[in-house]
Amino acid sequence: MNCKGAISILLCIFLLTGCGGIKNIQDLTYIVAIGMDYDEVEEEYIVYLQGLNFANVAKQEGGKPVEKIPSFVGTARGKTLNLAVSELYSKSDPPIYFGHVKTLVLSQRLINSKSKEVLEEVARNRSLRHRLRIVTTEESIEEIFNIKALFNYPAVYTVLFKDKANGLAQDELQPTSLLLFLRSYYEPMGVAKIPTVTIDTSSWVSEKEFPVLFYDGYSVFQQQSFVKNIPLEDAVLLDWMVEKNIALNRPVKDKEELIAAVKLSSPKMKITYEKDKSEPVFSLEISARADLLEKLRDISADELKTLLEEDLKKQIIHLYEKGVDSKLDLLNAGEKWYRKDREAFKELEDSKHFYLKKDSLKKVKVDIQIFHFNSYEYEKN
């Protein structure tokens, strides 16, 4: 059985199980996350199911847990995903229920070798809700599924199940649903991103180190193929530019000396394309407001503004060029271009070559207006 067939059967099993007969709430094992991995040596799929006791989870609403909440991780291997899951049915009582699955975790090994097959089958299968959160990880999925939230809250309070922030998010990556990812994934130009999850063991201690989960970057795809992972620093800057409602704290340096820290509001980014080109040639204009958080050295407002703008301009160009080196359109420069000039896009599509070069970005203009000085006595020029 080929990969596509195996995945289809697996997902059908999920659906059929979720629509089974009526059960009491305590008579089911609620699966809240599914993990998928692939062992290239053994040529076997590995499936992980994270199960919680729904009654125990419900008790946590509005209050601190009085006892540790257990979570369970089911694991099985098989030559196909279907056979791997089948192994778990006979060993799961109360029976497993997939109606509350919220997150799909894909291992880096699976992304490296089977991402196209798995993602395309997941996309067309009606049995998985497209509002599922989706993440990738280089960590052990079993270890990730066993990590609790702070204060021993159950796993559903970790970043795996995080909702998108209603207001301004700050210095953090936002979750991605399968629906939003696929919308970008099938675009002919521009990138699609999945947050990567990792384990931090150094930030929190409770009698001993207390591991927590956090987003540490993106797995980035271009034209339906996985290309590479980008680290948290690049991912946060990228989100600040191309997503909405993301704020960013930035140090301001004069050469190597740290002189201030500012908070940048969500920016406006405008892309201007040169006309009659066979591929995107463009300039960027970015404008944003800033608040001064901390001042470490006396400096005029104009000098502070200039240093901040020059630093951002340098970082943006650096990020763009890193993307081009990997044949990634990180700034999504091609997204609007191909809609504006369909004939040029058709010729470009037929040529099959990557459409950006380092000199495709002609100019970057950054305009930062500092509005608040945080009660510092500040002398303006």
Cα angle value 37/40/42 (rounded, 5°) = 100
* pLDDT given at position 244: 81
Q: Which is more confidently placed, 343 or 362?
A: 362
Bridge partners (DSSP) of residue 361 are: 282
281 in Cβ contact with 360 (< 8 Å): yes
94: pLDDT confidence band, cut at 50, 70 and 90? confident
pTM of the entire structure?
Answer: 0.85
Looking at residue 64, what DSSP letter applies?
-
- Strongest mean pLDDT among 63-67, 198-202, 374-378: 198-202
* pLDDT given at position 26: 67
* Lowest-confidence pick of 23-32, 175-184, 318-327: 23-32
For the chain, the residue count is 381
Using the predicted structure, report yes or no on whether residue 68 has a pLDDT greater than 60: yes
* Mean pLDDT, rounded, for 179-203: 93
Helices (H) and strands (E) in the chain, counts: 10, 17
* pLDDT given at position 7: 59
- Strongest mean pLDDT among 76-90, 141-155, 164-178, 215-229: 215-229
* pLDDT given at position 201: 94
* Mean pLDDT, rounded, for 151-159: 87
Long-range contact pairs involving 270-277 (C-beta distance under 8 Å, separation at least 24): 271/331, 271/333, 271/336, 273/336, 273/337, 273/340, 274/362, 277/344
Question: What's the whole-number average pLDDT of the chain?
Answer: 85
> Which tokens hold the place of 55?
């009654």
Q: Which is more confidently placed, 58 or 207?
A: 207
96: pLDDT confidence band, cut at 50, 70 and 90? confident
* pLDDT given at position 18: 47
Find, among 55, 52, 77, 249, the residue nearest to 158 by Cα.
52
265: pLDDT confidence band, cut at 50, 70 and 90? very high
4: pLDDT confidence band, cut at 50, 70 and 90? low
pLDDT in tens, 135-146: 999 999 999 999
Cα angle value 139/133/110 (rounded, 5°) = 40
Would you say the C-alpha torsion 123, 127, 129, 135 has a positive or negative sign? negative
pLDDT in tens, 184-195: 998 989 999 999
* pLDDT given at position 19: 47
Q: What is the CA radius of gyration of the chain?
A: 24
Using the predicted structure, report yes or no on whether residue 57 has a pLDDT greater than 70: no
Percent of all residues in the chain with a pLDDT value above 90, rounded to a whole number: 47
Distance CA 31, CA 129 (A): 14
Cα angle value 220/222/226 (rounded, 5°) = 55
* Mean pLDDT, rounded, for 325-338: 92
| CB crowding 257-293: b at 16 or more within 10 Å, else e | eebbbbbbbbbebebebeeeeebbbbebebebbbbbb
Distance CA 263, CA 7 (A): 46
20 in Cβ contact with 88 (< 8 Å): no
pLDDT in tens, 232-262: 999 999 999 988 888 999 999 888 899 989 9
Distance CA 110, CA 219 (A): 12
* pLDDT given at position 263: 93
Distance CA 56, CA 76 (A): 25
Q: Who contacts 345 (Cβ-Cβ below 8 Å, separation ≥6)?
A: 188, 189, 337, 338
